[in-house]
Each structure stands twice: as C-alpha cells, then as structure tokens.
Amino acid sequence: MMNRNISIWKIASAAALAVFILALILVALPYIAINYEMHQVWIGHKESIAYQGDWKQEFSDLEAKEMKIKEALNTLYVGMPLQHELSKVIDELFKKANSNNIRVAKILPVDDEYENGYLKKHFELEISGRYHSIARYINALEQGKYLILVESFNISKAKDQAGFLNGKLVLEITMIEHSP
C-alpha cells in the first residue's frame, strides 16, 4: 500500500508539475512578453515626451543661434559699403595713397558685375611711387576697412624719376546693392 501511495504521489506531483509548466507556458510567458512589450513602448513614449517636453528650451537655443548668425552677418557687412557710398571708398583709396607716398595718376572704372545681391566694381589705377611704398599701399588696401581685392598688378620703371616705379592696379571693390 505504501508503494501504491508513493506512486499516486509521484503521479500527482508529475501532474501538478505538468499543469504548472503548462500554465507557465500558456499563461505566464505570454503575460510577461506582453508586459515587456508594453514596457518598451512606454520607454519609447517617455523618451518622445522628454523631447517634446524640452521644446521650449530647444526653441530658445535656436533663437540664440539665430541671433549669433545675424550678428556674424552684420560683421560681414561692416566692410561692404552700400552702392551709393562709392565716394567714401574712393576717398579711402586716396587717403591710403597719400599716407604711403603714392601718387595716383588716374582711376578708371572698368566694369561692374552683380552677384547674389553684391555689386563688384572694378577699377584700374595708375600709380607711381617707390617699390616698398607701393607694397605698403597694396597691403593697406587689402587690409583696410573695405573689401578691396587686387586682381592684377603690373609695374615698370619710371622714365622721368630715378628710383620710382609706375604701376597699374586692377581693384575689385565689393559693395552691397541695398541695406541688409
């Protein structure tokens, strides 16, 4: 009888184990999988809510960046005179020539070109002076407060003055067509 009781307990325990494993497979594992998926979705929503919740800070950061870009653009325009301020640029050419002992014999407009709201005026200058004075003059023009580029430069010995050179410069002066 004892043997029979042991085998009933073995069968009952095996049946209970089978029911437990079946319940685990059919009920608990799908429940755990569903909860895990819901947790992943919740984490994704939480991250997107965090991004959306911080939109005011992002917006203020973008506004600050926009202000920095506008300030940078304004500093770019500092060296570019407006189209009607050409006389100021020509005055600057003569002032720099006088301060570097350069004689400007002639200024001739060559051509104009328009490019993306900028006017590029080309001028041909005939100058005379000593070699180092001419070099300082060119440097002063290119390093000055206006955007002036020397496109070409030819020099030759002056016939009437010893130690002097005659030169031809072609300058490109970049100007703004209208106020920014």
Tally of CB atoms within 10 A around 125 = 21
- Report whether pLDDT(157) > 60: yes
- Residue carrying the six token digits 């940078």: 72
Are residues 172 and 127 part of one domain? Answer: yes
pLDDT level of residue 179 (50, 70, 90 thresholds): low
Token pair listed for 24: 């685990």
Token pair listed for 115: 């490019």
- Report whether pLDDT(70) > 90: no
CATH at residue 96:
3.30.70.60
Q: Number of helices (H) and strands (E), helices first, in the chain?
A: 5, 4
State the average pLDDT over residues 173-179.
Answer: 69
Beta partners for 115?
Answer: 118
Write b or e for each residue in 165-178: b if 16 or more Cβ atoms lie within 10 A of its Cβ, otherwise e.
bbbbbbbbbbbbee
Are residues 158 and 98 part of one domain? Answer: yes
Are residues 141 and 70 part of one domain? Answer: no
Residues 84-117 pLDDT 10s: 778 888 888 899 999 999 999 999 988 888 877 7
CA-nearest of 52, 139, 71, 73 to 102 is: 139
Amino acid identity of residue 148, one-letter, is I
Residues 97, 104 contacting (CB under 8 angstroms): yes
pLDDT of amino acid 96 = 93
Cα–chain center distance at 62: 14
Number of domains in the chain: 2
Are residues 164 and 91 part of one domain? Answer: yes
Are residues 56 and 98 part of one domain? Answer: no
Residue after which a domain boundary falls, among 46, 76, 106: 76
Are residues 68 and 112 part of one domain? Answer: no
Residues 23-60 pLDDT 10s: 778 877 788 888 888 888 888 777 776 666 566 777 88
pLDDT of amino acid 66 = 87
pLDDT of amino acid 124 = 94
Are residues 63 and 106 part of one domain? Answer: no
The domain of 96 spans: 83-176
CA-nearest of 63, 73, 88 to 179 is: 73
